[in-house]
Chains A and B, each alone.
Chain A
């Protein structure tokens, strides 16, 4: 990836981080931690990779993205707003009674949301259905899904992992947002899903491990996934929960807690500084 493109993506990612803080702070609730950890993954997918058009959100040939970890809705809304599916003005209505931006994404209310999610463990199955339909129709669209590393404690994930491999869904790429934390603490202490790479390998998946905040590694992994035939790919992305906001990083407490006014201001100031330093580079 050339430096200019990378810098541009980093700026978008920082804007999205600001939006996550603004949304959760406006709502007084929501999930900033796991939204911040997935920023680079969604930024790459929506601003580089996926064939999607905000003017034609139901194009049958579009690529699909399923946010299986539906609590990261502020991340998805921020990306959809940045991309032009929804208005940026809507974002401050997040989780409030008159807004379409539900606590967890509702496909019937928000253009660009491909599936209503929230009850964990169901998104991979849905993505499988989309990928199977694509194969049946001879379409070349690809399906992406973002899983949480706590989420994969749900048994249905492994049912779906079996199905994807059984039906050789090479048009499906899953990302695992491997930030190591869930509500009650470290995933390895609550209920360890490790070793996740070996588990997915054993289930018949092609496994790639990357730094989930490095656009170059994300780009290479996505490109590699497209070359793999006869099996689905999972990109295990090592990430930091709360990434980008110093006092939120690696703190399980920020899984489902919104910043108050002062905290939000502090976070936004930090992010603004990051943005300014990117501007200097650019």
Chain B
């Protein structure tokens, strides 16, 4: 099975949904070959707008489109979408709650060789604190397709976090139906809960197998929807297992693990260990090497699972 990057699936999904939803317009900031919005551009050139290397203009132009009933998908690298254009996303999209969808590719360190300036480890934190912003983080091609569908069906701003790296299929197209605010239970278990998002779902699946080989019963969940977050599912995992590991390709401060912890600490406190980047900037390297360097691996999830199980009361 060929690996498909979620950014590729995003471009394909836009081209597919563009047939049905004539109000979709796609905007890019000179990265359409990389964000893969080029696929949409080829099919619907009149509905594609290249804004050039100007992400602030990109976001506010998308806002203008939204005021006229369009469903704009503003696409660029996550570091520019959530970082450089933060004020435009906050003030021109979030505050007026406009129907803009932000396709943010090349998130995390797995973009690889370009290094820290282009790796984005803060976007989940930045986007989830904008009131009303939906934050999605799909793990594979089918999940990405579903996230694009959810984004279109939801009236309001949506941030979709996408990766550059090719990833294996977890779900078959047509066999996954996502609901906004709901996680996906991959398997139930009783010893430890592993909640993962985006690229780290693949490592979490490997980690769960490794733990099971040692006789550990794992409750494994993919969380493509970071905001709104699946409170019921998080609490179910906590009650079933009594301890949780979160895994994300993001700074552990303010990201997915923090979001899960916020739910737990207010409702059903259990020990949590977080796998993520430990408040550092990234560095250049082959994607696989960078992921290993920052311990964004199945092995690390296993280590943290063993640690957190010892913390159970």
Chain A interface residues (CB < 8 Å from chain B): 60, 64, 106-108, 114-119, 121-123, 125-134, 136-137, 155-156, 159-160, 162-163, 166-167
Please give, as numbers and ranges, the residues of chain A lying within 8 Å of B59 by CB-CB distance: 125
Q: Is the CB of B65 within 8 A of A133?
A: yes
Q: Is the CB of B56 within 8 A of A125?
A: yes
Contact of A116 among B57, B65, B70, B96 (CB under 8 A): B96
Q: Is the CB of A163 within 8 A of B96?
A: no
Counting chain A CB atoms within 10 Å of each CB, the highest count among B59, B61, B92, B96 belongs to B61
Q: How far in angstroms is the closest Cβ of chain B from A104? A: 9
Contact of A132 among B52, B64, B88, B90 (CB under 8 A): B64
Q: Is the CB of A114 within 8 A of B97?
A: no
Q: Is the CB of B67 within 8 A of A160?
A: no
A interface, over-half SS = helix
Q: Is the CB of B61 within 8 A of A129?
A: yes
Chain B interface residues (CB < 8 Å from chain A): 25, 46-47, 49, 51-52, 54, 56-57, 59-70, 72, 87-88, 90-92, 95-97
Task: Look across to chain A and name the residue whose beta carbon is closest to the beta carbon of B96.
Answer: A116
Contact of A128 among B64, B87, B96 (CB under 8 A): B64
Please give, as numbers and ranges, the residues of chain A lying within 8 Å of B66 by CB-CB distance: 129
Decide: A132 near B96, CB < 8 A? Known: A156-B56, A163-B52.
no
Task: Look across to chain A and name the residue whose beta carbon is closest to the beta carbon of B25.
Answer: A136
Nearest 3 A/B pairs, CB to CB: A129-B64, A125-B60, A133-B68
Q: How far in angstroms is the closest Cβ of chain B from A70? A: 9
Q: Is the CB of B97 within 8 A of A129?
A: no
Please give, as numbers and ranges, the residues of chain B lying within 8 Å of A137 by CB-CB distance: 68
Q: How far is the CA of A51 from the CA of B192 in the complex (A)?
A: 63
Q: How far is the CA of A160 from the CA of B61 in the complex (A)?
A: 8
Q: Is the CB of A136 within 8 A of B91?
A: no
Q: How far in angstroms is the closest Cβ of chain B from A113? A: 9
Q: Is the CB of B57 within 8 A of A60?
A: no
Please give, as numbers and ranges, the residues of chain A lying within 8 Å of B46 by CB-CB distance: 136
Our count of residue pairs bridging A and B at CB distance below 8 angstroms stands at 110
Q: Is the CB of B92 within 8 A of A122?
A: yes
Q: Is the CB of B64 within 8 A of A127?
A: yes
Decide: A159 near B64, CB < 8 A? Known: A116-B95, A136-B47.
no
- What are 19 pairs between A and B in contact, CB < 8 Å? A108-B97, A115-B63, A116-B96, A118-B91, A119-B87, A122-B88, A125-B60, A125-B61, A125-B88, A126-B61, A126-B63, A128-B57, A129-B64, A129-B72, A132-B49, A133-B65, A136-B70, A159-B57, A163-B57
Q: Is the CB of A159 within 8 A of B49?
A: no
Please give, as numbers and ranges, the residues of chain B lying within 8 Å of A118 by CB-CB distance: 91
Q: Is the CB of A156 within 8 A of B60?
A: yes
Please give, as numbers and ranges, the residues of chain B lying within 8 Å of A107 by CB-CB distance: 67, 96
Please give, as numbers and ranges, the residues of chain A lying within 8 Å of B64 by CB-CB distance: 115, 125-133
Q: How far is the CA of A134 from the CA of B65 in the complex (A)?
A: 9
Task: Look across to chain A and name the residue whose beta carbon is closest to the beta carbon of B59.
Answer: A125
Q: How far in angstroms is the closest Cβ of chain B from A156? A: 4
Q: Is the CB of B60 within 8 A of A106?
A: no
Q: How far in angstroms is the closest Cβ of chain B from A129? A: 2
Q: How far is the CA of A133 from the CA of B96 in the complex (A)?
A: 18
Q: How far in angstroms is the closest Cβ of chain B from A36? A: 25
Please give, as numbers and ranges, the residues of chain A lying within 8 Å of B95 by CB-CB distance: 106, 116
Q: Is the CB of A116 within 8 A of B68?
A: no
Task: Look across to chain B and name the residue whose beta carbon is closest to the beta carbon of A114.
Answer: B67
